[in-house]
Amino acid sequence: VVSMIPMESKLELNLSKQRADAANIPTYRLPIDRYMRRKDQIHFSQILAINQVFEILVTYLSSKNWRAALSRGVPERKGYVLKD
């Protein structure tokens, strides 16, 4: 399930997860940390827009390759590059 709950504020960290847990809906994370590393810059973010998550999932479903899917769907401005 891709969260459609509006952007969480710092005061409501993990609100999407809490609501999913309360409704017994399983939650998953994209394997960004497993396949990507932080670039040499100050700003890093794993927060993605719904269209970016959708693109990653569609690419993974067609290729069965997380590296290809994350490379295509995670914008450079997020501060992550594929691990070697």
Q: What is the DSSP string of 5-59?
A: S----GGGTTHHHHHHHHTT-------HHHHEEE-SSS-------HHHHHHHHHH
| 39 lies in the same domain as 24 | no
State the total domains in the chain: 2
pTM assigned to the model: 0.76
Same domain, 57 and 23: no
d(CA 13, CA 6): 12
One domain for residues 23 and 45 = no
Distance of CA 2 to the CA centre of its chain: 10
Same domain, 37 and 66: yes
Residue 18's Cβ-count burial label (10 Å; 0-12, 13-18, 19+) is middle
- Going from the first residue of the chain to its last (84 residues), give the mean pLDDT of each consecutive group of 10, the final group possibly shorter: 52 77 93 93 83 96 98 93 93
- Domain with 69, as residue range(s), is 31-82
Residue 10 pLDDT:
52
Q: Residue 79 gets which letter from DSSP?
A: S
